[in-house]
Structure formats: structure tokens, C-alpha cells
Amino acid sequence: MSQPVFAPGEMQRYQRHVILPGVGETGQAQLKQSSVLVVGAGGLGSAAALYLAAAGVGCLGLADADSVDESNLQRQVIHDTRQLGRLKVESAAERIHALNPWVQVDCHAVHLEQANAAHLIQGYEVILDATDNFTARDVINRACTALRKPMVYGAVYQFEGQVSVFAPHLGAPCYRCVFKELPPDPTEPVGIFGALPGVVGSLQALEVLKLITGVGQPLLGKLLLVDTLENRYQCIHISQDPGCPVCGTGTAAV
């Protein structure tokens, strides 16, 4: 791997990574050379994108077609009151640049769907699912499976959250191995406890950092369940389903 050129003064901000066992200058260079697509610039995407940018991921893609609404600001902390009405990807990009000007941000102001998923995803090393509906996750999962990209999954509902890394090409299940039936997407907004997306989005960012630097064990074949009311954090084992409609034997994932 050729060493990336850090601009003068750039490494200064990563001192606490450089002294960290398992990360160091090598890990920081890996982060600088990496690219991550964050699908969804809402609650999960806010925490994940901010921490990935701060950590020095070289290229961050943001995909979201929505604009900032006042009802978002209770948890989508990458945006603020001045940004009401602006495209979320533009609002988020501005905040990321203020936090770390060395990060390249690609704004994709589109809904990720079957027709554009492969095109969007193929340019990135890791895909972070920060969406809020089953349909979008299914689309991301199919594209990630076909393109052999790890999908760092996160979801929140009321006071609870989930995190996993789906990656059939690494021997781990895909989203549809675990969630075999896709329920209809809710037509009404569901309640989300304020700081919960911050916790789950930050856990997703950690999984991305682990995948890129190779430190620790990512949540491959494991589903982390977070219950904030009871302070229960439970990791359950999940496995690939040979009959999975997306990654199972004999399926041609598209």
C-alpha cells in the first residue's frame, strides 16, 4: 500500500489514533485511503458521518434526497436550525467540512433504489446503512451482496436499536438471512428516543473503523441488540441461511 500524503498539520489531529495500539500511523493511513458511503443523513447518519469524518476517513459519500425539517432536529445532530429547508446532504457536508476539511465529501441527493444502488455503491469500500425503512435496507443488501461490499447495518425503534455487519463474502449472513420477511414500511412516523440514534450510529462508525483498520472483531455473524430503557446490550449469533433469497445457494444476487 502506498502511503497517502497527509498535508502539513493534518496528522496533528489524529494523535490519539497514532498512539492507539492496533491503529497507529498505519491504521490512520488506511483510513485516509478508505471510502465509505453513508446511506441516509438522518439520526444514524448524523452520528456515523461525524465520527467517520473526525476519525479521518478519506472519502465520505452521503446519499439522501430529503431536506432538513424541524422535526429532524431532536436527534439528527449533524443539522441545525440554520439549515432548515436545505438538502440534508448539503447541510451535512458543510458540517463535515467544518469538522475536518481534509475529508472529501460526495453528495448524492437521491433516494437509493434498485435502479441506482449498484452505481452508487460500487465506488465505496464500506456501506453504512443509516436508512429507516425495510425497503431501502433490502435494496442496499442486494447491491452490497452482489458487489461483495460489507453492509454496516443499524436500526432504531422507540427505545431500542440493532447493529450488525452483513457480509456473505466474508462468511457472515446478509440482511435477508436474518430478516426473512420484510414487513410493510410504517406509514406514520415512529417515536425515537433522542440520543438513541447517536448510540447506534456511533456503534456503526466503530464497526466501519474496525473493518478498515483490521483492529478487533467486527460484528460479523452477530447481531447487537440495544435496549436503552433497561440498559441491556445483548449480542446474539446469527448465521447464513442456505435458502436465503439474496445470498443463498443457487441465487444470483442482483
Contact flag: residue 37 with Zn ion (CB under 5 A): no
Instruction: Please identify, using beta-carbon distances, which residue of 124 and 166 lies nearer to Zn ion.
Output: 166
Residue nearest to Zn ion (CB): 244
- Indicate the residue type of 27: G
Q: How many C-beta neighbours within 10 Å does residue 238 have?
A: 17
Instruction: Please identify, using beta-carbon distances, which residue of 20 and 118 lies nearer to Zn ion.
Output: 118
The minimum distance between CB 177 and Zn ion, in angstroms, equals 3
Contact flag: residue 174 with Zn ion (CB under 5 A): yes
Task: Please pick, from the candidates 152, 163, 208, 247, the single residue that binds Zn ion as defined by CB under 5 A.
Answer: 247
The minimum distance between CB 176 and Zn ion, in angstroms, equals 5
Instruction: Please identify, using beta-carbon distances, which residue of 94 and 241 lies nearer to Zn ion.
Output: 241
Contact flag: residue 151 with Zn ion (CB under 5 A): no
Contact flag: residue 172 with Zn ion (CB under 5 A): no
Contact flag: residue 212 with Zn ion (CB under 5 A): no
In order, the DSSP letters of the chain are -PPP-PPTTTGGGGHHHHTSTTTHHHHHHHHHH-EEEEE--SHHHHHHHHHHHHHT-SEEEEE---B--GGGTTT-TTS-GGGTTSBHHHHHHHHHHHH-TTSEEEEE-S---HHHHHHHHTT-SEEEE--SSHHHHHHHHHHHHHHT--EEEEEEEBTEEEEEEE-GGGT---HHHH--S-PPPPSS---B-TTHHHHHHHHHHHHHHHHHH--S---BTEEEEEETTTTEEEEEE----TT-TTTSTT----
The minimum distance between CB 247 and Zn ion, in angstroms, equals 3
Contact flag: residue 246 with Zn ion (CB under 5 A): yes
Which region among 73-81, 125-133, 218-226, 241-249 touches Zn ion (by CB under 5 A)? 241-249
Contact flag: residue 223 with Zn ion (CB under 5 A): no
Contact flag: residue 244 with Zn ion (CB under 5 A): yes
Contact flag: residue 178 with Zn ion (CB under 5 A): no
C-alpha cell at 94: 458543510
Contact flag: residue 206 with Zn ion (CB under 5 A): no
Binding region for Zn ion (CB under 5 A) = 174, 176-177, 244, 246-247
